[in-house]
Amino acid sequence: MENFFDKELYEEIDIIQLMDDQIEEAINLEFKSADALRNTDKCKNELLKDISSFANSTGGIIIYGIEEKEHCAHSLTYIDGSQVTKEWIEQVINTRITRRIHDIQIYPIRFEKNLSQTVYLIKVPESYMAPHMAYDNKFYKRYNFQVIPMQEYEVRSLYFKTKLARLEVLKPEASIEPTILRVNESRNELVSFLKFKIENISYVTSDKCKLEILLPVNMNTSLNRSEEVNIDKYYVESKFDYRRYLVHYEKFIFPLDTETIFECYINLSKIEKKTYEKVYIYVNLFFDGGRRSRKFSLLEILDEIEKNKSMTFLRSDLDI
């Protein structure tokens, strides 16, 4: 389900897959039947509580048009898109939640291209303008499968949160080139150059952060020395077959800016091609506003190169 939350386009097959896999609701995923999106005060109020609670928590996705059974996606219940429109949903949300939640995305998914067979997927970001108040002058949060009112101290902590920068780990950018390395005898080795970047997704300037990167030892990592690097700020250790790099970054990252924090080369020659999908790179980011942890499969990173046409021979060469 990790990739499901990162998608920028949703289609019928994505919804069907949820039911086929019997995906369970979670703190960042909720299923609602079509009846939950009727044009009644009760349904509108529930919509407002759900949306504001996601924004006040860690964000997530609500899908209207899926019947759940024991908290798992079970069956489809279509919404008539001519009666309940995307514009109507936007109006309800924007006029009855204070402060306005930015960057909410609403995806109408038409089954068989039929307007009367619509499923609405609403993606709510974690809001850095929180807390957001619903129609009844209350603040709500997500707790397990429930939406519950927040305590006074929780509301106060969210107000403090808006004063802190929020950073996010981006997928490593990779470029791959076949390099001839001479080690006793000439041999071909596949070497990739990785860039690790972080993005300031808030409107507050960040002045420091720490990045921890765990790379498999058999990648034979080497640092990029093409730019000035204070080597004292890099600590390398082998633990559980991973090499750990700890980078203290003490420069400003301005609002909505992206910065490259770490660069290195990895040698892929000692990794079996059939295991690429199971080889992971772990990245942990620590900053005043909290922590972000991501993991990326080697196959996921290499696939991105192929999509960008940076290396047209990659698929056939790796035989994956």
pLDDT of residue 7: 85
Tell me: do 24 and 128 sit in the same domain: yes
Tell me: do 151 and 125 sit in the same domain: yes
pLDDT of residue 110: 97
CATH of the domain at 147: 3.30.950.30
Tell me: do 200 and 311 sit in the same domain: yes
Number of domains in the chain: 2
pLDDT digits (tens, 9 = 90+) for 167-213: 999 999 887 655 443 333 344 566 778 899 999 988 788 988 999 99
Nearest to 287 by CA among 248, 261, 256: 248
Tell me: do 102 and 184 sit in the same domain: no
Which residues, at least 6 apart from 28, have a Cβ–Cβ distance to it below 8 Å?
5, 54, 57, 58, 59, 60, 61, 142
Provide the residue range defining the domain that includes 287: 167-318
| Burial of 113: CB neighbours in 10 Å, binned 0-12, 13-18, 19+ | exposed
pLDDT of residue 265: 84
pLDDT of residue 283: 93
pTM above the 0.95 mark?
no
Tell me: do 192 and 206 sit in the same domain: yes
Tell me the mean pLDDT per 10 residues along the chain, length 320.
78 95 93 95 96 93 95 95 96 94 94 96 89 94 90 86 83 69 46 88 86 86 58 52 86 92 84 83 88 87 61 41
Tell me: do 47 and 177 sit in the same domain: no
Tell me: do 203 and 89 sit in the same domain: no
Tell me: do 144 and 203 sit in the same domain: no
